[in-house]
Every structure is written in structure tokens, then in C-alpha cells.
Amino acid sequence: MTSFTCVMAWLCALLIIPVMLFIWALDTKKTRINRYRSYGWSWKKIADIYGVSPTTARRRSLAK
């Protein structure tokens, strides 16, 4: 028999995942680039993700 705690944990997980995806979808490239930089990623690594040069990735992070 499944416990109440287990059912509630699954319910919370199923409700949180769509919210996290929604928040992620609202992020702009600039926000993501700046977040990756805060993680210590290099401009080259970030540029490879977006298929641009490191200079372009840096410019996008500084754009208004």
C-alpha cells in the first residue's frame, strides 16, 4: 500500500516540473548567458551552446 507521504511527494514533483519549465522558457538568452558565466563557464563554452563566436556571446551578455 502506497503511503500518503509518497503520494504527496509525487504530486509535488509533478506540479513543480511544469512550473520550472515555464520559468525556464521565460528566460532570455542574455539571462541564460549571464547565469552560465556566474557558474564559471568560459565564453567559448557558452558560445558553443548557441553556435556563435565567444565575442558574440560576450556582446549578447552586455546587450540592453
- Rg (C-alpha) for the chain, rounded Å, is 18
Predicted model pTM: 0.61
User: Domain limits at 52?
Assistant: 4-62
Give mean pLDDT, residues 41-47. 96
Per-residue confidence (pLDDT) for residue 1, from 0 to 100: 56
Q: Burial of 3 by CB count in 10 Å (0-12 exposed, 13-18 middle, 19+ buried)? A: exposed
Q: Is 53 left (phi over 0), alpha (psi -120 to 50) or beta?
A: beta
Distance CA 20, CA 56 (A): 28
Over residues 1-42, the pLDDT tens digits come to 579 899 999 999 899 998 888 888 888 899 999 999 999 999
Per-residue confidence (pLDDT) for residue 16, from 0 to 100: 93
Q: Burial of 46 by CB count in 10 Å (0-12 exposed, 13-18 middle, 19+ buried)? A: buried
Q: How many domains does the chain fold into?
A: 1
